[in-house]
């Protein structure tokens, strides 16, 4: 890690000690949760080139699994988290095996369909999810007698996990599996000519990506204590894809920063002190439009998104030409 | 000693359309074999079937006596077969060094192999940290061959290495074939430019309509009037196509 990265990590973890208020800490905790999800999507979409418009559903599966196991069945927090991650990984694998035979737009449509199916399931499986009323009373994270029940401790838990995941993801993209993912993003026939098992790499990337979303879902459920189906709809999936597009291909920091910005945009009214009520509401109403227009604008200006890496701009030419 | 590569009675095609019929060929270690034929004669399909990119309908492919018919390409690499695909299929945004490292993905990276590849193509050493897409066409072809060599293959399939390259660069690339031969690597060379291919090959096979219609030492094929008429092209204003020959 470079010194800049260490300073950034320390700064993120120092926020609760700098006297930030409870509301701001909660918002920033959501940013941490979204960081975890977008990391997984950056690996899958930004590096391996496989789009998913269904990541909100994996987020939801993780959240509901964890919430149900800990509140209805009373299982310990760590068990609930492990089960949530495991089940989401299985769901990711089950979607990936048939889904990754599809490419590009078809894969996007299939994962979008999966998200819609799960949205209905979250509402209809009332016994487990509480339907439209949601599922409340999810206990705070606890290990033995120690319970994390203050906004500051929850913030530190979520961001601690997010930073560990960020370091892990950074290691993956620099090592052999990361190179394989980038290779198949460029050309699948070329990758298999190099001895890369293309479908296996795709399935593993998708499973890992879903598992990260499931972990985020679990942390989210225990942090807010109440979950309902609207959180896990297509809107979030689209926001995540937009963040990876804005953040740029083959970048982790880019999508993370973009997702943080898109998340904070929704809480603009409460975060900017001088902002009038009307202005804040207007921004909130226009969030999807702002996101869409920004994506279109960026794609027109820079077809590969912003690169947040210190890299000289190299003219892109067809690698296969 | 068994042949490096042996293809026996291979049938291959796409869906219900059979393109290659009953093709048999063999390549000894350290031998360069040219596979000739006009457009649509089935050479690329045959190569794809050998490389595992296409499942053969019938017949067998053997590597050093071991049956590898229908084995997927990623497993063939660890069995000593490397494909330099048509159109090169490089990883454009990745650096030259990363492209070479990915060539050794299945077999493990060995520093001496990298040094040997760079000695074979010195121009690549100066470009190691550059994205592959910024190389010239000739350099890209060298990188594609270098990437294939990184897996320490004993059999190499080269699909149309001269495609779209300047003649001077082409001759540089073909000189490397002689190096490969001296190292005992068996090479199958699919090439549109039959004259050039036969100049560098030991033996050749000529395909027409999906069948192998002629085979022999490269020197004989170059002198053979039928081959010259059909594939070397210079006798008539234009190269005759398969359709002309059938009529």
pLDDT value, residue B149: 95
pLDDT value, residue A319: 38
The reply to whether A49 falls in a domain is yes
pTM above 0.95, yes or no: no
Instruction: Quickly state the pLDDT bin for B203 (edges 50, 70, 90).
Output: very high
Alpha carbon A22 to chain centroid, angstroms: 23
3-state secondary structure of B9: strand
State the DSSP string of A4-33.
HHHHHHHHHHHGGGGT--HHHHHHHHHHHH
Residues B165-185 have a mean pLDDT of 89
CATH number for the domain harbouring residue A239: 1.10.3470
- CB-based contact B89 A176, cutoff 8 Å: no
Number of independent structural domains in chain A: 1
Range of the domain at A52: 3-140+149-301
**How much is the mean pLDDT over chain A?**
89
Residues A227-245 have a mean pLDDT of 94
User: Does ipTM surpass 0.85 in this model?
Assistant: no
Residues B152-181 have a mean pLDDT of 89
The reply to whether A318 falls in a domain is no
Q: What whole-number percentage of chain B has pLDDT above 70?
A: 92
Instruction: Quickly state the pLDDT bin for A305 (edges 50, 70, 90).
Output: very low
Q: What whole-number percentage of chain A has pLDDT above 70?
A: 93
* Contact (CB, 8 A) for A306 and A254: yes
What is the longest distance spanned by two Cα atoms in chain A? 63
Contact with chain A for residue B51, Cβ under 8 A = yes
Q: How far apart are CA A56 and CA A60, in angstroms?
A: 6
The reply to whether A314 falls in a domain is no
Residues of A in contact with B93 (CB under 8 A): 182, 186, 249-250, 316, 319
- CB-based contact A186 B87, cutoff 8 Å: no
Q: What angle, rounded to 10 degrees, do the helices at A22-41 and A234-247 form? A: 70
Q: Is A144 left (phi over 0), alpha (psi -120 to 50) or beta?
A: left
> How many Å lie between the alpha carbon of B246 and the closest alpha carbon of chain A?
34
Residues of A in contact with B98 (CB under 8 A): 179, 182
Mutation for A interface: B84, B102, B107, B137, most A CBs within 10 A? B102
Q: What whole-number percentage of chain B has pLDDT above 90?
A: 59
The reply to whether A319 falls in a domain is no
With a CB cutoff of 8 Å and minimum separation 6, the contacts of B174 are B161, B162, B196, B199, B200
Q: Which of B78, B83, B92 sits opposite A193 (nearest CB)?
A: B83
pLDDT value, residue A295: 83
B54: exposed, middle or buried (Cβ count in 10 Å: 0-12, 13-18, 19+): buried
- Asked whether the predicted pLDDT for residue A232 surpasses 90, the reply is yes
By C-alpha distance, the chain B residue nearest A316 is B133
* Contact (CB, 8 A) for B25 and B4: no
* Contact (CB, 8 A) for A258 and A41: no
pLDDT value, residue A309: 42
pLDDT value, residue A318: 40
With a CB cutoff of 8 Å and minimum separation 6, the contacts of B49 are B10, B12, B20, B55, B56, B61
- CB-based contact B106 A317, cutoff 8 Å: no
Alpha carbon A227 to chain centroid, angstroms: 17
- CB-based contact A192 B103, cutoff 8 Å: no
* Contact (CB, 8 A) for A137 and A259: no
The reply to whether A243 falls in a domain is yes
Tokens standing for residue A6: 């260490």
B16 φ/ψ angles, rounded to the nearest 5 degrees: -90, 0
> How many Å lie between the alpha carbon of B194 and the closest alpha carbon of chain A?
23
- Asked whether the predicted pLDDT for residue A182 surpasses 90, the reply is yes
pLDDT: which is higher, A144 or A80:
A80
pLDDT value, residue A317: 42
**Neighbouring-strand partners of residue A135:** A227
Tokens standing for residue B43: 């050479």
Tokens standing for residue B28: 């000894």
Instruction: Quickly state the pLDDT bin for A321 (edges 50, 70, 90).
Output: very low
Contact with chain A for residue B82, Cβ under 8 A = yes
Query: How confident is the model over B57-111, as pLDDT tens digits?
Result: 999 999 999 999 989 988 999 999 999 988 889 999 999 999 999 999 988 888 8
The reply to whether A87 falls in a domain is yes
Give, in order, the Cα–Cα distances in Å from A106 to each of A50, A53, A126, A246, B131.
Answer: 11, 11, 31, 22, 30
- CB-based contact B91 A187, cutoff 8 Å: yes
With a CB cutoff of 8 Å and minimum separation 6, the contacts of A99 are A107, A110, A111, A114, A206
Q: How far apart are CA B135 and CA A317, in angstroms?
A: 9
pLDDT: which is higher, A219 or B73:
A219
Q: How far apart are CA A181 and CA A48, in angstroms?
A: 4
Instruction: Quickly state the pLDDT bin for B192 (edges 50, 70, 90).
Output: confident
Residues of A in contact with B75 (CB under 8 A): 195
The reply to whether A309 falls in a domain is no
Residues of B in contact with A196 (CB under 8 A): 74, 102, 105-106
Which of these ranges, A231-235, B178-182, B224-228, has the smallest mean pLDDT? B224-228
Instruction: Quickly state the pLDDT bin for B231 (edges 50, 70, 90).
Output: low
Residues B26-30 have a mean pLDDT of 94
Mutation for B interface: A194, A199, A202, A309, most B CBs within 10 A? A194
- CB-based contact A189 B78, cutoff 8 Å: no
Give, in order, the Cα–Cα distances in Å from A153 to each of A15, A62, A141, A142, A169.
Answer: 11, 21, 10, 11, 24
Tokens standing for residue A144: 């033995």
**How much is the mean pLDDT over chain B?**
88
Residues B127-147 have a mean pLDDT of 94
Give, in order, the Cα–Cα distances in Å from A116 to each of A129, A157, A222, A263.
Answer: 16, 31, 24, 22
Q: How far apart are CA A62 and CA A65, in angstroms?
A: 5
Q: What angle, rounded to 10 degrees, do the helices at A176-186 and A198-224 form? A: 110
Angle at A259 between CA A1 and CA A241, to 5 degrees: 110
pLDDT value, residue B191: 86
- CB-based contact B134 A317, cutoff 8 Å: yes
By C-alpha distance, the chain B residue nearest A195 is B74
Alpha carbon B167 to chain centroid, angstroms: 18
With a CB cutoff of 8 Å and minimum separation 6, the contacts of A230 are none
Give, in order, the Cα–Cα distances in Å from A190 to each of B25, B73, B117.
Answer: 25, 10, 19
Contact with chain B for residue A145, Cβ under 8 A = no
Query: How confident is the model over A32-58, as pLDDT tens digits?
Result: 999 999 999 999 999 999 999 999 999
The reply to whether A312 falls in a domain is no
Nearest in space to B194 (alpha carbons), one of B232, B234, B235, B233: B232
> How many Å lie between the alpha carbon of B147 and the closest alpha carbon of chain A?
8
Contact with chain B for residue A183, Cβ under 8 A = yes
Residues A131-146 have a mean pLDDT of 90
pLDDT value, residue A273: 76
Contact with chain A for residue B72, Cβ under 8 A = yes
- CB-based contact B106 A195, cutoff 8 Å: yes
Contact with chain B for residue A315, Cβ under 8 A = yes
Q: How far apart are CA B145 and CA B147, in angstroms?
A: 5
Contact with chain B for residue A168, Cβ under 8 A = no
Residues of A in contact with B90 (CB under 8 A): 186-187, 190, 319-320
Residue numbers of A between 231 and 260 with CB closer than 8 Å to B: 249-250
- Asked whether the predicted pLDDT for residue B236 surpasses 80, the reply is no
- Asked whether the predicted pLDDT for residue A306 surpasses 60, the reply is no
pLDDT value, residue A316: 42
- CB-based contact A194 B147, cutoff 8 Å: yes
Q: What whole-number percentage of chain A has pLDDT above 90?
A: 67
Q: What angle, rounded to 10 degrees, do the helices at A151-174 and A198-224 form? A: 170
The terminus-to-terminus CA distance of chain A in angstroms comes to: 36
A313 φ/ψ angles, rounded to the nearest 5 degrees: -70, 120
Tokens standing for residue B107: 């077999």
Q: What sign results for the dihedral spanned by CA atoms A59, A62, A65, A71?
A: negative
pLDDT value, residue A270: 75
Q: How far apart are CA B7 and CA A234, in angstroms?
A: 52
């Amino acid at each position: 890690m470079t010194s800049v990265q260490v300073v950034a990590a320390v700064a993120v973890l120092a926020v609760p000690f700098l006297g930030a208020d409870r509301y701001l800490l909660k918002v920033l905790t959501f940013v941490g949760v979204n960081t975890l999800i977008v990391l997984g999507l950056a690996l899958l979409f930004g590096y391996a080139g496989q789009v998913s418009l269904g990541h909100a559903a994996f987020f939801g599966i993780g959240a509901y699994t964890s919430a149900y196991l800990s509140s209805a069945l009373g299982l310990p927090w760590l068990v609930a988290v492990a089960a949530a991650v495991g089940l989401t990984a299985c769901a990711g694998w089950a979607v990936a095996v048939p889904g990754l035979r599809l490419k590009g737009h078809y894969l996007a449509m299939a994962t979008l369909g999966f998200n819609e199916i799960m949205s209905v399931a979250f509402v209809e499986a009332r016994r487990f999810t509480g339907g439209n009323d949601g599922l409340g009373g999810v206990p705070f994270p606890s290990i033995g007698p120690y319970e994390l029940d203050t906004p500051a401790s929850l913030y530190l838990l979520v961001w601690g996990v997010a930073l560990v995941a960020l370091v892990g993801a950074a290691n993956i993209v620099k090592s052999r599996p990361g190179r394989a993912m980038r290779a198949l993003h460029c050309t699948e026939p070329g990758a298999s000519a190099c001895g890369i098992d293309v479908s296996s790499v795709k399935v593993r990337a998708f499973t890992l990506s879903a598992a990260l979303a499931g972990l985020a879902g679990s942390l989210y459920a225990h942090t807010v204590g109440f979950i309902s189906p609207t959180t896990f709809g297509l809107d979030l999936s689209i926001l995540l894809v937009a963040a990876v597009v804005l953040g740029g291909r083959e970048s982790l920091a880019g999508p993370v920063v973009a997702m943080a910005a898109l998340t904070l945009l929704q809480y603009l009214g409460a975060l900017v002190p001088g902002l009038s009520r009307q202005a804040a509401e207007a921004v909130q109403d226009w969030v999807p439009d702002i996101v869409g227009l920004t994506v279109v604008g960026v794609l027109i200006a820079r077809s590969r998104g912003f690169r947040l890496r210190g890299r000289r701009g190299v003219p892109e030419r067809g690698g296969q030409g | 000693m068994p042949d490096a590569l042996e293809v026996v009675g291979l049938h291959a095609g796409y869906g219900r359309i059979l393109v290659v019929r009953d093709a048999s060929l063999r390549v000894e270690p350290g031998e360069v074999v040219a596979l000739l034929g006009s457009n649509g004669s089935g050479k690329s399909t045959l190569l794809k079937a050998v490389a595992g990119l296409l499942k053969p309908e019938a017949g067998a492919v053997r590597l050093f006596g071991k049956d590898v018919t229908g084995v997927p390409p990623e497993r063939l690499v660890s069995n000593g077969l490397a494909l330099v695909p048509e159109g090169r299929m490089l990883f454009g945004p990745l650096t030259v060094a990363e492209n070479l490292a990915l060539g050794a993905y299945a077999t493990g990276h060995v520093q001496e192999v990298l040094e040997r590849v760079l000695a074979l193509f010195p121009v690549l050493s100066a470009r190691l940290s550059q994205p592959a897409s910024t190389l010239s066409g000739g350099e890209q072809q060298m990188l594609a061959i270098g990437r294939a060599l990184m897996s320490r293959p004993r059999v190499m399939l080269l699909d149309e290495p001269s495609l779209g390259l300047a003649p001077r660069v082409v001759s540089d690339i073909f000189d490397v074939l002689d190096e490969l031969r001296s190292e005992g690597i068996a090479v199958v060379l699919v090439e549109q430019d039959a004259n050039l291919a036969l100049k560098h090959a030991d033996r050749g096979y000529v395909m027409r309509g999906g069948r192998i219609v002629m085979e022999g030492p490269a020197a004989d094929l170059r002198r053979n009037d039928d081959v010259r008429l059909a594939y070397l092209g210079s006798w008539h204003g234009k190269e005759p196509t398969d359709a002309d020959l059938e009529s």
